[in-house]
Amino acid sequence: MRFDDPPAILLAALLSLGCGSASGADIYVIAGPDVKLSVEDVRELYLGDKEFSGEVRLVPVDNQAALSEFVVKALGMNPQRYNILWVKKAFRDALNPPAVKAGDFEVLEFVKRTRGAVGYVSSVPRDKEINVIGKF
């Protein structure tokens, strides 16, 4: 270990101090007021095993900007496996995979105006019409 290399020490220290945030931002699963879901339901919904919340047909939507983070944290798989799973689901069970939105804004807009919509975003929504179902 060299102590005469302050830039390296500075970099190491900054990275070390920043470890907490480097582990990845939180993902918030959101839905409109007509959707009643538990955190446990989120996995079933995004794996195609849950289609309804009471009488309301659920419309899950993916967020391209946060998809990798969400799939790893909430579903415990990588994005490739997630995609393959939906290909098989579509062929076998005639389920259509979630639509893909570009980012948080598009997901929020979709959830606000679509009955039964469920999405996920990378920050807590401030809109009172939107409920946070869970954090991953």
Partner 1 sequence: MSFNNRFPLRQLIFVGLTATIASAVPGVSFGQSDAERIRELERKLDRSLKTIEDLSNRLKDVETRTPVRSESAPPSPAQEHEHERRIPEIGSETSSLPTLLKGFADVGANFVGNGGNKGFFDGSVDFYLTPQLSSNIKTVIELVFEHDSTGVLSPDLERLQVGYTFTNATTVWLGRFHTPFGYWNTAFHHGQQLQTSVLRPQMIDFEDHGGVIPAHTVGVWGTGAVRAGTGRLTYDLYAGNSPSIHGNELDPNNAGKTQPGYSAGFNLGYLFGGSADLLKIGVHGYRAVVRDDSLALNVTRANIFGGYAALDSAAWEVIAEYYALRNEDLSGGTGSHASWTGFAQMGRRLERWTPYVRLERAALSQADNYFAQLATGRAYSRQASGLRYDLTPNSALKMELNHTVSEATPKAVFNQLLTQWAIRF
Residue 100: beta bridge partners? 62
Q: Which is nearer to partner 1, 96 or 124 (CB)?
A: 96
# binding residues, partner 1 (CB under 8 A): 53
The tokens describing 131, both together, are: 């409920």
Q: State the minimum distance, in angstroms, from the CB of residue 120 to partner 1.
A: 15
Pick 100 or 124: Cβ nearer partner 1? 100
Phi and psi dihedrals of 68, rounded to 5? Answer: -60, -45
Chain CA centroid to CA 129, Å: 19
Residue 74's contacts (CB-CB under 8 Å, 6 or more residues apart) are 27, 29, 42, 43, 46, 120, 136
Among 43, 73, 122, 136, binds partner 1 (CB under 8 A): 43
Single-letter amino acid code for the residue at 96: N
Instruction: Name the site residues for partner 1 (rule: CB under 8 A).
Output: 1, 6-7, 9-13, 15-16, 19, 22, 43-44, 47, 49-52, 57, 59, 62, 64-65, 67-68, 76-81, 83-92, 94-100, 110, 113-115
